[in-house]
Structure 1
Amino acid sequence: MRAKRVCRAPLSGSDEATIEDGDMVIDEKADLETRTAQAVEELKSALSSQGKGAQKKKIEALRAVRRVLSQSEVPPIQVAIKAGAVPLLVQYLSFGSSDEQLLEAAWCLTNIAAGEPEETKSVLPALPLLVAHLGEKSSTLVAEQCAWAIGNVAGEGADLRSTLIAQGALWPLARLMLSSKGSTARTAAWALSNLIKGPDPKAAYELINIDGVLNAIIRNLEKADEELATEVAWVVVYLSALSEKAISLIVRSHVPQLLIGRLLASENLQLLIPVLRGLGNLVAGDEYMVDSILIVGNSITDQALSSLIKCLKSDNRVLRKEASWALSNIAAGSFEHKKLIFTSEATPSLIHLLTSAQFDIRKEAAYTLGNLCVVPAGSTEPPNIITEHLVSIINGGALPGFINLVRSADIESARLGLQFLELVMRGYPNGQGPQLVERGDGIEAMERFQFHENEAMRNMANGLVDKYFGEDYGLE
């Protein structure tokens, strides 16, 4: 959804503050294609113009192409490409051209790059000049429009990202993210998030090592409007997903506190998703985050828990899933962290999700609830059970949800369900665990693995049935 964007209105600060007269949405496909072909032909003619009025003719020709690529619901990109627009636009990007000409040419290329994959690839010949015009000698408006075009190209795929990185796009985009002009910093951050999204982690590693980048992230998360903070949060998401060095630097900065603050204060879904995902990456990626920042008793930890509970209760499935995942990693920490989550509103919310949410959310909720019930033992020993937590979670209605996981076709989820049933049968007080599992049709769920092709699952399930429901089961 975020990868590529059509530019339909002038950039903030340009001479065209509003849509021009004549820039009406064109609906008739045949008329639009005819106008597009004519506009490209005029673009070619204007390029060779000399003398008085030549520059004005070039700008008018560029605007005509830009209009047909901007004002239609389905821009005629393929028609423009077939008519030869791209090589012409590359010539219009030549050094020494006026800012107005550069801006219009980059705008046209931005919208061509927003098209289908092959249409985006057609912009390849323009990339060296688009990257060059990101430089310090370019006006802010020209650099911002070129950043938008590059962001669209980067959003298309890993090969094009590699090409852009090889052509030197990373550093000047990082410099633009430092801009005091909000729209420029926002466009640069968006383009950077597309450029570093992988799968190769090299760009993320290089970005976090550029002087001033971490400070820019901190400043924009702290003071910027929600639109800019959203784009910067996506940069944090990809940095923390792809680079251990980035995670280490970020968790030791003020970023975690700022993410938590944004998560707690905002109701903007577009902002909440990357903020929560970035926070989840940090919690999962570096033990320092849980052990040294989310210390039980600190106000920041209480704020983090409150914000995650808010997301668990959200109507948005992405927020519910990401919050469950983040909590599962916190719940894997110390006994104090487990106790903090267990005694909060998170526990009944997680039980509700386990028994009623979509499958992917149920799975994450199950991980969290399971982590709340155990503390690690020796490397070869089963985990020690926190009986109070286990009993309360079972009494809260979680057992049917775990038994349903055992029935899942997803092996990881079925294993998670079996592991929890083992805790119940081993640790529920007064030996009542097997009876609870039996009453919930847990035996039937486990027996589906009796002849299963997965040897580990077959052995695990059969072992539990033999151990807890063998020939002595039910005898006093």
Structure 2
Amino acid sequence: MSQLANSTWALSNIFRTPNWMLTNEEVTLAISVVKDICLSSENNKVLVDALWCLKNLTMVDSTIELVIAADILPLLTPHLKSPDQKVQDTAVRVVGNIVSATDVQTDAALEAGILAPIHNILKNSVVDNLRKEAAWVLSNITAGTTQQIQKLLDEGVLLTIYDVISKDSNNVVKEAAYVLVNLVKGGTTNQQKQFVDTGGVDSLASLIPRFQKESSLSGILSLALDAISAMLAADSDNVNKIKDQIEEGLDILLELRTHNDATVVSTVNNLLHEHFPDLEELNSGGGSDEENMDNTSLPGTASKYVAGE
């Protein structure tokens, strides 16, 4: 056991940085060893080092497919349910790296059954960082295809996201917010309608007063505003309902015209100009209309990202 523990630790360190000088055959051999450990080890310390090896391997796009080809993903699902926090945390990071990659690789993770345990972690874990990582995984699923978004909706994740946003720490809420933003940006009309009908607009709008004074979170604030604007711009039956909900918080939107982040100011000005043109106070903000109504806009499609970005 001592030799196995030391060897697994050494193996994980070989892949600690992405510039390893190894052939695909050598990498595949390492993956097969890790797979055996995931199958058979009853020692959680050894298992954690094996999972760290997988976590390091899946940080590199070219080796994710080798990991999937080794049929390791179904072995990760039980570790997502582990009572050992270190095992669970490392397994979540491996899964997160995989769903941050291509849509095909995300499909492979979903087919392996990772969605339900990830949802359970977000819903029930008492560990702040684990909930954050779980929300990150889910946000990258909603940055994928409409079929992947639908699986998340069918799992009932939306109501959990609303609950998280209403009461969790900013650390977790930031990642959960991306779930909503990505869904709005990439979802079908029916998926957006489900979002609206279940209270998604209120949840998204609640991010505005929560983050309006936190400069470090101005990026997600801009994305939330842009997502609301995108929904209002859509030709659908949701528009009047969304407007009614947003109008309750117009005072906060008006305050944001003096925000210290130029992107936030531009985004909120564009939102007000496009969707609430009759608002008299619109022209009372700082700067001229030309200055406030620039054409700065955020990307129209969701993108996957690595935790911490």
- TM-score, normalisation: structure 2: 0.78
Distance 1:461 1:391, change over 3 A: same
Partner of 2:39 in structure 1?
222
CA contact (8 A) 1:240 1:285 kept: no
Which structure exhibits the higher relative contact order, with contacts defined as CA atoms closer than 8 Å and separated by 6 or more residues? 2
What's the CA shift string for 1:451-474, capped at 9, x where partnerless?
Answer: 44544332221010112222279x
**Alignment partners' CA distance in 1, 2:202 and 2:245:** 11
Distance 1:430 1:285, change over 3 A: closer
Q: Does 1:197 align with 2:7?
A: no
CA contact (8 A) 2:196 2:242 kept: no
Partner of 1:188 in structure 2?
7
Question: SS of the residue aligned with 1:373?
Answer: helix
Question: SS of the residue aligned with 2:70?
Answer: coil
What's the CA shift string for 1:238-293, capped at 9, x where partnerless?
Answer: 2212x2222221122212221123213x21111000011011001102332123x2
Question: SS of the residue aligned with 2:16?
Answer: coil
Distance 1:447 1:189, change over 3 A: farther
Partner of 1:113 in structure 2?
none
**Alignment partners' CA distance in 1, 2:103 and 2:239:** 36
Amino acid in the other structure paired with 1:184: Q
Q: Does 1:402 align with 2:207?
A: yes
What's the CA shift string for 1:176-201, capped at 9, x where partnerless?
Answer: xxxxxx33222232244345433xx2
CA contact (8 A) 2:142 2:186 kept: no
Partner of 2:158 in structure 1?
347
Structure 2 gap ranges (5+): 281-309
CA contact (8 A) 1:283 1:290 kept: yes
Q: Does 1:305 align with 2:115?
A: yes
**Alignment partners' CA distance in 2, 1:450 and 1:396:** 21
What's the CA shift string for 1:24-73, capped at 9, x where partnerless?
Answer: xxxxxxxxxxxxxxxxxxxxxxxxxxxxxxxxxxxxxxxxxxxxxxxxxx
Distance 1:385 1:422, change over 3 A: farther
Q: Does 1:368 align with 2:179?
A: yes
Question: SS of the residue aligned with 1:471?
Answer: coil
| Among 68, 75, 78, the residue aligned to 1:251 | 68
Amino acid in the other structure paired with 1:218: K
Greater fraction helix? 2
Q: Does 1:433 align with 2:242?
A: yes
Question: SS of the residue aligned with 2:114?
Answer: helix
What's the CA shift string for 1:76-111, capped at 9, x where partnerless?
Answer: xxxxxxxxxxxxxxxxxxxxxxxxxxxxxxxxxxxx
Partner of 1:99 in structure 2?
none
CA contact (8 A) 2:165 2:173 kept: yes
What's the CA shift string for 1:111-167, capped at 9, x where partnerless?
Answer: xxxxxxxxxxxxxxxxxxxxxxxxxxxxxxxxxxxxxxxxxxxxxxxxxxxxxxxxx
Q: Does 1:270 align with 2:78?
A: no
CA contact (8 A) 1:189 1:231 kept: yes
Size of the aligned set, in residue pairs, is: 273
RMSD of equivalent CA atoms = 2.7
What's the CA shift string for 1:382-428, capped at 9, x where partnerless?
Answer: x8673322213426952443323551422211122212322453456
Distance 1:294 1:449, change over 3 A: same
Partner of 2:277 in structure 1?
470
What's the CA shift string for 1:313-344, capped at 9, x where partnerless?
Answer: 21111211111111111122222221221132
**Alignment partners' CA distance in 1, 2:9 and 2:205:** 43
Amino acid in the other structure paired with 2:41: A
CA contact (8 A) 2:99 2:109 kept: no
Distance 1:239 1:189, change over 3 A: same
| Among 78, 98, 103, the residue aligned to 1:282 | 98
**Alignment partners' CA distance in 2, 1:418 and 1:190:** 45
- TM-score, normalisation: structure 1: 0.52
Amino acid in the other structure paired with 1:285: A
**Alignment partners' CA distance in 1, 2:258 and 2:151:** 41
**Alignment partners' CA distance in 2, 1:318 and 1:208:** 33
Partner of 2:302 in structure 1?
none
CA contact (8 A) 2:73 2:109 kept: no
**Alignment partners' CA distance in 2, 1:232 and 1:207:** 20
Distance 1:359 1:406, change over 3 A: closer
Q: Does 1:392 align with 2:203?
A: no
What's the CA shift string for 1:11-30, capped at 9, x where partnerless?
Answer: xxxxxxxxxxxxxxxxxxxx
Amino acid in the other structure paired with 1:344: E
| Among 30, 36, 52, the residue aligned to 1:213 | 30
Q: Rg: which structure is higher?
A: 1
CA contact (8 A) 2:165 2:203 kept: yes
Question: SS of the residue aligned with 1:206?
Answer: coil
Partner of 1:445 in structure 2?
252
